Structure 1
């Protein structure tokens, strides 16, 4: 039986990355060391962890900073969140836009270089609507 699942992102500045997720997305810290921080969102219970890639728990040859990773947060009002993030100086990698597959989103970058895709579902185009499973 699967009890839990969460992403662990490697970052060279664990403290700054943890502060980013706490400040901008409301995560709480459940464990904190200088090399690892575990975060949980108080409303949804979602978890995320941050790890220094040079820590001894990372297998030799795999100590790389997360690249090519998108962390997605689905929220009720992406426009309001995008405005708040921009006002706070969070680097915007891709501005707000609607996608035909059913998302309005903005993509920002966390202090460790991980892309954060903030989305609000919208009605997909008919072409994509047929691809969704019922329910």
Structure 2
């Protein structure tokens, strides 16, 4: 089984460029109305972008993504947050550490989707029991 999000956007090219430039995704299929992207490193995360006005979307559902948060885990969120800021990527939540075990920054992609860029950190004692044991 393969599972990946397909995000509706008003500008497929700009959204695709965002994920390629800032996160290293590469296209596996490209059309002016749809782009499928895959990350070259295992486990090969995938994401697709679809023109929000494409006729394959049922009437009444042709709108940009809203209420969607895409998580991307990276080794060094501090370094990436600095690069994203320098590139002018809109930051909607500044870099911070959370007691539940994440250091993260939230940015907005060109289609309005929130992208939560995360590096795992040790959780506080109150959250340790909430994690499943590593197998």
Structure 1, residues 18-47: CA drift from partner, whole Å, max 9, x if none? 000000000001111111000000113111
TM-score (structure 1 length as normaliser) = 0.97
Paired residues, what number? 133
1:78-117 matches, cutoff 5 A: 78-117=77-116
Query: Could you tell me which residue of structure 1 aligns to residue 28 of structure 2?
Result: 30
> RMSD value over aligned CA atoms?
0.6
**Distance across 1 between alignment mates of 2:103 and 2:130:** 18
SS where residue 79 of structure 1 aligns? helix
**Distance across 1 between alignment mates of 2:22 and 2:52:** 23
**Distance across 2 between alignment mates of 1:64 and 1:79:** 33
Structure 2 residue runs of 5 or longer lacking an equivalent are none
Structure 1, residues 73-128: CA drift from partner, whole Å, max 9, x if none? 00000000000000111000001100010000000000110000000000101111
Deviation at 1:53, TM superposition (A): 1.4
Query: Could you tell me which residue of structure 2 aligns to residue 55 of structure 1?
Result: 54
TM-score (structure 2 length as normaliser) = 0.97
Deviation at 1:54, TM superposition (A): 1.0
**Distance across 2 between alignment mates of 1:59 and 1:29:** 25
Deviation at 1:64, TM superposition (A): 1.1
**Distance across 2 between alignment mates of 1:56 and 1:111:** 21
Query: Could you tell me which residue of structure 2 aligns to residue 77 of structure 1?
Result: 76
**Distance across 2 between alignment mates of 1:81 and 1:53:** 29
